[in-house]
Each structure stands twice: as C-alpha cells, then as structure tokens.
Amino acid sequence: MATDPWLSRELAYAPSPEQGYAFELRTRAVPALKAGEVLVRNLMFSCDPTQFAWLNGGNSYAPRIRAGDVMRAWAAGRVVASRHPDFEPGQRVWGTCGWQDYSISDGSGILPLAHIPDDIPLSYPLGLTGISGVTAHLGMIEIGRVAVGDTVVVSSAAGATGSVAAQLARNRGARVIGIAGGADKCRWLLDGLQLTAAIDYKSGELEQRLAEHCPNGIDVYFDNVGGPTLDAVLGRMADHGRIALCGATSLYGGSSASLQHGLMILARRLTVRGFVIMDHRDRFAAISAELTAAARSGQLTTREDIAQGLEAAPSALLRLLEGKNIGKQLVQLEAAASEPMLCATKR
Amino acid sequence: MATDPWLSRELAYAPSPEQGYAFELRTRAVPALKAGEVLVRNLMFSCDPTQFAWLNGGNSYAPRIRAGDVMRAWAAGRVVASRHPDFEPGQRVWGTCGWQDYSISDGSGILPLAHIPDDIPLSYPLGLTGISGVTAHLGMIEIGRVAVGDTVVVSSAAGATGSVAAQLARNRGARVIGIAGGADKCRWLLDGLQLTAAIDYKSGELEQRLAEHCPNGIDVYFDNVGGPTLDAVLGRMADHGRIALCGATSLYGGSSASLQHGLMILARRLTVRGFVIMDHRDRFAAISAELTAAARSGQLTTREDIAQGLEAAPSALLRLLEGKNIGKQLVQLEAAASEPMLCATKR
C-alpha cells in the first residue's frame, strides 16, 4: 500500500515476445515538486482502446509508449501538492496521468473537475459524459450527421463509447443496430439501450444479419474495431453513407488490417473519417455539458466495469481486447476508499 | 458510312472470357421519334474511366451495361430532329448517349451547348471545362480543400481529370506531385503543367519517391486509380489529410482492391470521400463557367488524344486501362467532318 505520500508504486511497460503486452511493478520515491508542477494522487484510471494505439505507435498528441516508460492512462484524482498557479491541494482533477499512485504534471494535460456537480460520479468525466461520451458525440453527430430514419450500425456497441454512440443515434430517431460479442451484451443492447436490433458477431453470421437488418443499406457506421467488421459493413453501406472511424481494437490484437471492400467508398460515394478526441479539445466542455444534462434526465445511461487496485490495471485494460467488459472499464485505486465523494454517487 | 439518316451503326457490349471487354458492330434503322423525344447525331465521344464502372456494376444514376446493350458514353452532337419542346434541329448538345451514329433521348440526359462560346472547342464540354474539369474541381477544391503550401499528390496526373486537378492545386499555391506512367507523361507534367515533381510509377519506386518528395506527408490526394497506388499514398498521408476518390482504373483491369494501410485513416485522422460528378449536377454550370474562364486566360491547359471513327471507340476506351492516352481521350465520328464549328478551335 502506498500510504507514504513520498513513495509511489507504478507500472512500467515491459513487453515480451511470450506475453505481448506486459507491465512491471516498481516503487519510486516521488521527487520534490519544481516550480509549475502539480502532484496528483490518482483515484481512478480509465481503460481506453487508444492506449493500445499509444503502445503501438503513438500520434502527434501522445508519443509512443516504449519499454520502461510508465504506462500512460487517462485518470481522475486529487491534487495533493501544487507549485502551479491554476491548481491547489484538495482539488479534484482529471487528465493524462500514468499507472501510478502519484503523478507529477506541469498542468498541461490535466483539468480541474470543479464544474462537475456532486451527483455526477467521478467516473463520468472518464466515461459517459467525458472521454467516451464526447468521442461518441463527435463520431455520431458531427461526423456521422445522423438524422431521423437513418439506419445506423455501431460496433463495440456494448462498450463505453459505442453504447453512448448508439444511444445518441436512438435519441435522434435512427434505426440502430448494435454489434457486440456474446448473448449478455446483446441482451443489454436490446433491453437496456432499446436498440432496434443487436448482432452477436461471434455467431459468425455478421454479413447475413447486416443484410437482414439493413435492407436499404447503412447510412452511418460508428466503428470502434476496424478489420473484418469494418470490411463487412463497408460492403453494405448506402449511397452517401458516413463512416466515423474511432478505433480499431480488432487490430491491436494482431488481426489483419486489409480491407477488401475499399472500392465501396467510391462506388457508394461514402465519406470515411478517422478522428481522435484530442483534435477536438475546444469542443470538449460544451459537448460534455450537453451529455451531462442528457445523463441526468435519463436520456443516456451507462454501465461500468470497475476493477480494484493498481495491480489490476493491466488485466482490466486487456479485457477491452478480449471483449470482456460491458460498458466502461475502469480501475479504482486503493486511495479512493478514503474519498467520501466517490461513493456519493448513484452507481 | 452512315450517310442515310435513318440507318445508324452502333456498338453493343459483347463480353467474352477470352477478350474481356469486347463490342459488336451492328446497324439498325432509327425508329420514328415519339412525342417528347430528340434525335441526336453524335459527333464526338468522351472516353471516361467511369464507363468501366458502368460495365462492372453501375450505380444509382447509371445502371449496369449488360451484354447486348449499346455501350453508353458521354458525347457531344447535333440535334437533327426533335419532338421535345426544349430542343430544336441544328442545336449542339452534350450528354449521355451511346456508341452509335444517332441517339434518341427523352431529353433528360442531354443539355444544349448554346452557352459554349465559339472559340471553345466542342471537346471542352467533354473534357477540360466539362466532365473532366468539373470532376477535378469537385475533388481538389471542394473535397480536398487544397490550400497554399499543401503537399498534393495526383494519380493519373497526365490524364484528362488528373491533369486539371493538378493544375487547380498548382494555381492555388500547393506543391503538386503528379504520378503517371512513363517518361513522356512525366515530362509533360514538369514542362507542360509545371508541377513540383513527377513520379513514374512504372519505375517501381513509388514509395521511395513519395517519401522523397513528401517529407512532411501528403495533405491532399486526388485518386483516380485505387489499388496499390492508393495504398502507397495512404501510408504517407499527413495528419488531417483529405483523399478524394474519383476513380479506380487500376481495379477495372483486375488488380486487387485490398488496402493494407486502411488503419492510417484512423491514425492520421484522414477524411476519405468517394464522389461521382452526377451527385453534383446542380454545381455543374457554375464550375464549368469558372473553368472556361481559366482555360481562356491560359491558367488551365489540356492535351487531347483523338481517335477517328465509331469503330475506333473500343480501342480508344481501352487506352485508358493501358495508360496509353496523354490528356483527354476522345473519339471523333465521321459525321464531324462536315461540322464547320468543330474546326474553328485552337487545338
């Protein structure tokens, strides 16, 4: 247990040919803060598919995570010490941290949570009304331009982002077909999220089910997985359809990225657009406020899958690849037990 | 020779396993016009890659051409008889006709050429200021959103559409790299069109040359060919790059459509959009007027490759697949010899 504020456990990336994604636990003394720095006690980690993109190559916002680096994660926590003018001890924050008890930031990657009302769980800025929800909104509303009567398909529809994307389309009057793996998830898509139809991709009948549920083609596809699922949907798109590429979880596990139906982009005059939330930071606050209102009124709901303790972070993250999580996958740290406001939620 | 106005030669699609795309010459009597119909003597055919798309599947504007059908083509001609209120004998028109001496139309697929000034060649509405040029404008300006300083790549850059797309980008202050097959075409790209660089894809060094000429990635790609060229360019795109998919000539010849670099759409947050000119008919007149002004002032130029006679149409069309044409491929019909205004041009 990291009860000493000046000792911090952390998980460093330690890939191996045998284990693939693997991490090594180490303990370090937290260095003294320099001017402009903030010390954050992490309370909850978000598990996101984009973390595999960071491990596999990074992008202009997030450099590649290399062997020996502390694993990067989006997290919520509390400021315990600050030499930065915008942060003060006791304040709740969220942002880019690491898999560690304590993170030091120069303030550029973290934001105060002061505006989050008390009845909103701390997990929401990482999920329904935050990272996952804002991503879903960008993909479904701004890129997908979903409209009443559209036929919409969402992959990973029982996941954190897909489940919000599907609900946003449903709320706008679209016919929504969710793709998920397994009967439990499909049941939640129908009973919990009231989607038009659910397709269990593990049935091996994805193409037939898509043809059955989308006789006039697919107007909007929100893609979280890439690979063969993207290819199957490409083959069923309607003229002028829109595809929002939000993630490619199928590929992080090693599947082929080869697309056989790429020619449909031309034949059906599709718009295919990849996006990452960091390109749209200026839109975050407004979209998050809209999602928070929708969540409070019951128009949006979520499920959360919460693993306990820092050591659980690697297996929690790998659950995304294995498709084991239903809804948002989170990791709650030991320190969260002493956080009164964390429990003052309606989860 | 079709000197009798009531006898018309035509070429029907007659595919065979041995020959692939093949056509059969037949002669028919032209039926009497019904109310609402127009009889057009065809003077010039446009050869367009989209004709292979019509042969291979069609789309919502243009049904598939099946064995026995007269081959469809965009053409320019002259009205010889009319029972349609919008057309009168003697008028020049262009639009969707067939590979035949005379075409009968209900008027829906043809337009008068009355607005084309006398110093503009009849070929221009089929090429530089018409089909090819408008397609180039839509892809480069409206989809590609080319801007000063952008690095732009155009495939089939010595073709009818690509050569206009490349010039439009050049005129807007972009660095333009044209891809073409063979030294003659590449020389025209540099000396005739003043592009920044030309890559001969037949050199087998496409990826290396792209890396050399696009060290900071590619902002806009105007794609006419699909297949391996599209894949190679996908691998070099810059963040937030735009790809306009205008054609896939490489695939009409039977190459694989499989894309290995599809994941770059996500990683680089690209926008990839397929389009066909018929979706943008309402924009045609305005764009065509702009192109006509640019052609007259010398800001846009073209080359034309004109085959002679109806029987030459199949081999002229196949030149597109073989990459033999430089600039716009056309077929001039025998009847054009008696058209005085056809020769009053600066070609």
Residue of B239, B246, B276 with shortest CB distance to A60 = B239
B278 at interface of A, judged by CB pairs closer than 8 A? no
Q: Is pLDDT of A256 > 60? A: no
Chain-chain contact of B268 with A258 (C-beta, under 8 angstroms): no
Question: What percent of chain B stands above pLDDT 90?
Answer: 72
Yes or no: say if A127 and A46 are a contact pair by the CB < 8 Å rule: yes
Q: Is pLDDT of B196 > 50? A: yes
Whether residue B324 is contained in a domain is answered as yes
Same domain for B53 and B121, yes or no, is: yes
Same domain for B271 and B172, yes or no, is: yes
Same domain for B245 and B312, yes or no, is: no
- The string of DSSP codes covering A57-80 is TB-SSSBPP-TTSBPEEEEEEEEE
Nearest in space to A99 (alpha carbons), one of A71, A68, A63: A71
Contacting residues for A323 by C-beta, under 8 A, at least 6 apart: A181, A182
Most confident of the following: A146-160, A238-252, B60-74: A146-160
Minimum distance, in Å, between the CA of residue A88 and any CA atom of chain B: 36
CATH number at B111 reads: 3.90.180.10
Q: Number of Cβ pairs closer than 8 Å across A and B?
A: 91
* Region A36-53 average pLDDT: 93
Whether residue B92 is contained in a domain is answered as yes
Give the tens place of pLDDT for each residue, A283-297: 988 999 999 999 999
pLDDT band at B252 (very low <50, low <70, confident <90, very high): low
pTM: 0.86
* Region B318-327 average pLDDT: 90
Q: pLDDT higher for B249 or A188? A: A188
Chain-chain contact of B251 with A259 (C-beta, under 8 angstroms): no
Same domain for B248 and B307, yes or no, is: no
Beta-strand (E) ranges in A183-302? Answer: 197-200, 218-223, 237-245, 271-274
Q: Compute the distance between CA of residue B201 and CA of residue B209 in angstroms, rounded to an integer.
A: 9
Same domain for B160 and B253, yes or no, is: yes
A108 at interface of B, judged by CB pairs closer than 8 A? no
Q: How many residues does chain A have?
A: 347
Q: Compute the distance between CA of residue B104 and CA of residue B252 in angstroms, rounded to an integer.
A: 29
Nearest in space to B52 (alpha carbons), one of B73, B31, B37, B76: B73
Chain-chain contact of A274 with B270 (C-beta, under 8 angstroms): yes
Same domain for A153 and A267, yes or no, is: yes
Q: Compute the distance between CA of residue A181 and CA of residue A322 in angstroms, rounded to an integer.
A: 10
Give me B96's structure tokens: 């969707």
Q: pLDDT higher for B18 or B198? A: B198
Same domain for A175 and A121, yes or no, is: no
As a 3-state breakdown, chain B gives helix, strand, coil percent values, each rounded to 5, of 35, 30, 40
Distance of CA A137 to the CA centre of its chain: 12
Beta-strand (E) ranges in B232-309? Answer: 237-245, 271-274, 304-308
Q: pLDDT higher for A337 or A198? A: A198
**What is the residue-averaged pLDDT of chain A?**
90
Helices (H) and strands (E) in chain B, counts: 11, 15
A246 at interface of B, judged by CB pairs closer than 8 A? yes
Whether residue A233 is contained in a domain is answered as yes
Please list every residue in chain A whose beta carbon sits closer than 8 Å to the beta carbon of residue B248.
263, 266
Give me B184's structure tokens: 């003659």
B216 at interface of A, judged by CB pairs closer than 8 A? no
Number of domains in chain B: 2
Minimum distance, in Å, between the CA of residue B64 and any CA atom of chain A: 12
As a 3-state breakdown, chain A gives helix, strand, coil percent values, each rounded to 5, of 35, 30, 40
Q: Is A92 helix (H, G, I), strand (E, B) or coil?
A: strand
* Region B31-46 average pLDDT: 95
Q: CA angle A342-A343-A345, nearest 5°?
A: 95
Minimum distance, in Å, between the CA of residue A170 and any CA atom of chain B: 25
Same domain for A187 and A172, yes or no, is: yes
B263 at interface of A, judged by CB pairs closer than 8 A? yes
Q: H/E element holding B170? A: helix B160-171
The 10 Å CB-count burial string (b at 16+, else e) for B286-308 is ebbebbbebbeeeebebbbbbbe
B60 at interface of A, judged by CB pairs closer than 8 A? yes
- Domain end position, chosen among A262, A278, A294: A278
What pLDDT, on the 0 to 100 scale, is given for residue A166? 98
pLDDT band at A187 (very low <50, low <70, confident <90, very high): very high
Chain-chain contact of A263 with B251 (C-beta, under 8 angstroms): yes
Angle between helices B206-213 and B227-234 (to 10 degrees): 40
Same domain for A313 and A234, yes or no, is: no
B81 at interface of A, judged by CB pairs closer than 8 A? no
Minimum distance, in Å, between the CA of residue B318 and any CA atom of chain A: 21
Please list every residue in chain A whose beta carbon sits closer than 8 Å to the beta carbon of residue B269.
273-276, 279
Question: What percent of chain B stands above pLDDT 70?
Answer: 92
Q: pLDDT higher for B227 or B247? A: B227
Whether residue B293 is contained in a domain is answered as no
Chain-chain contact of B247 with A260 (C-beta, under 8 angstroms): no
Range of the domain at B244: 131-278
Tell me which chain B residue has its CA closest to the CA of residue A143.
Answer: B271
Please list every residue in chain B whose beta carbon sits closer than 8 Å to the beta carbon of residue A57.
267
pLDDT band at B119 (very low <50, low <70, confident <90, very high): confident
Whether residue B221 is contained in a domain is answered as yes
Same domain for A167 and A274, yes or no, is: yes
pLDDT band at B122 (very low <50, low <70, confident <90, very high): confident
Whether residue A1 is contained in a domain is answered as no
Q: Is pLDDT of B152 > 90? A: yes
Same domain for A146 and A103, yes or no, is: no
Q: Is pLDDT of B5 > 60? A: no
Same domain for B137 and B234, yes or no, is: yes
Q: Compute the distance between CA of residue A306 and CA of residue A331 in angstroms, rounded to an integer.
A: 5
A274 at interface of B, judged by CB pairs closer than 8 A? yes
* Region A3-23 average pLDDT: 86
Q: Compute the distance between CA of residue A156 and CA of residue A177 in angstroms, rounded to an integer.
A: 11
Whether residue B288 is contained in a domain is answered as no
Whether residue A193 is contained in a domain is answered as yes
Chain-chain contact of B265 with A271 (C-beta, under 8 angstroms): no
Give the tens place of pLDDT for each residue, A261-272: 888 898 899 999
Q: Is pLDDT of A341 > 90? A: no
Minimum distance, in Å, between the CA of residue B274 and any CA atom of chain A: 4
Q: What is the CA radius of gyration of chain B?
A: 20
Give me B132's structure tokens: 């090819």
Largest CA distance in chain A: 63
